[in-house]
């Protein structure tokens, strides 16, 4: 997998392996097949996370990347894996989240924003993407953050399932819950 020359921070192999091991276990425990997953990979970079989900049998993956240079690399990676179901969208995630979705809502969301994004900014982005139909009810979330940041990036009305630390990286796992009213809506 090719990585853009600059402007991205690829998820390490160790973290990616742990992430997919956790997802495999969780999905199996809940009786969910990968073929039921519609993936939204925000801040896609090289597309490693979304394409890994696709290689495991995900129905589709929408890879969102604002950098045209990174998107060129991303498109080359999509072509290299040669699996159906991957779409690349060159757009800023804030603009995406503020517009109505046209694809079916995602059931699994990866978000690996630049570390300068605050947890609050990311939670607001996720709420907006859900409100506009990009993220479905009961969708699973995996968010990569700096390990030094202890602020939960998952909207408070949703469920934070767990946090796992891997050196300087933290993965937050969550789930969209719609049993109550959205906060700050």
Residue 178: CB atoms within 10 A of its CB come to 12
Nearest alpha-carbon partner for 148 in 113, 110, 119: 119
DSSP per residue, 53-110: HHHTT-SEEEEEE--HHHHHHHHHHHHHHT-TTEEEEES-HHHHHTS---SPPEEEEE
In the chain, how long is the greatest CA-to-CA distance? Answer: 43
Give domain status of residue 18, yes or no. no
- Looking up tokens 């998107």 gives 71
Cβ contact 56:23 at 8 Å: no
Give domain status of residue 14, yes or no. no
What pLDDT sits at residue 180?
A: 45
Structural domain of 140: 35-67+97-149+160-178
Give domain status of residue 145, yes or no. yes
Q: Number of helices (H) and strands (E), helices first, in the chain?
A: 5, 7
Give domain status of residue 23, yes or no. no
Residue 179 CA neighbour count, 13 Å, CB half: 5
Q: Token pair for residue 54?
A: 């696709």
Give domain status of residue 128, yes or no. yes
Radius of gyration of the chain (CA): 15
Over its length of 185 residues, how does the chain's per-residue pLDDT go in tens digits?
Answer: 665 555 565 778 899 999 999 999 999 999 999 999 999 999 999 999 999 999 999 999 999 999 999 899 999 999 999 999 999 999 999 999 999 998 799 999 999 999 899 999 999 999 999 999 999 999 999 999 999 999 999 999 999 999 999 999 999 999 999 754 444 44
Pairwise CA distance, residues 96 & 147, whole Å:
27
Pairwise CA distance, residues 131 & 125, whole Å:
10
Question: Hey, is 143 helix, strand or coil?
Answer: strand
What pLDDT sits at residue 115?
A: 86
What pLDDT sits at residue 7?
A: 55
What CATH number does residue 136 fall under?
Answer: 3.40.50.150
Per-residue CA distances from 3 to 8, 11, 12, 39, 106 (Å): 8, 10, 12, 20, 25
Number of domains within the chain: 1
Cβ contact 44:69 at 8 Å: no
Give domain status of residue 48, yes or no. yes
What pLDDT sits at residue 13?
A: 87
């Amino acid at each position: 997998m090719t990585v853009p020359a600059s402007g991205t921070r690829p998820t390490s192999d160790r973290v990616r392996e742990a992430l997919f091991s956790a997802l495999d276990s969780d999905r199996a425990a809940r009786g969910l097949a990968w073929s039921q997953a519609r993936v939204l990979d925000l801040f896609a970079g090289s597309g490693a996370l979304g394409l890994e989900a696709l290689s495991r049998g995900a129905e589709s993956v929408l890879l969102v990347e604002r950098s045209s240079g990174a998107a060129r690399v991303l498109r080359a990676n999509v072509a290299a894996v040669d699996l159906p179901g991957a779409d690349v969208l060159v757009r800023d995630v804030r603009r995406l989240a503020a517009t109505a979705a046209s694809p079916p809502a995602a059931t699994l969301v990866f978000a690996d924003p630049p570390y300068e994004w605050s947890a609050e900014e990311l939670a607001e982005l996720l709420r907006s993407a859900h409100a506009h139909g990009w993220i479905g009810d009961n969708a699973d979330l995996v968010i990569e953050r700096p390990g030094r940041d202890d602020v939960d990036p998952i909207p408070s009305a949703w469920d934070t399932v767990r946090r796992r630390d891997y050196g300087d990286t933290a993965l937050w796992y969550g789930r969209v819950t719609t049993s109550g009213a959205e906060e700050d809506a």
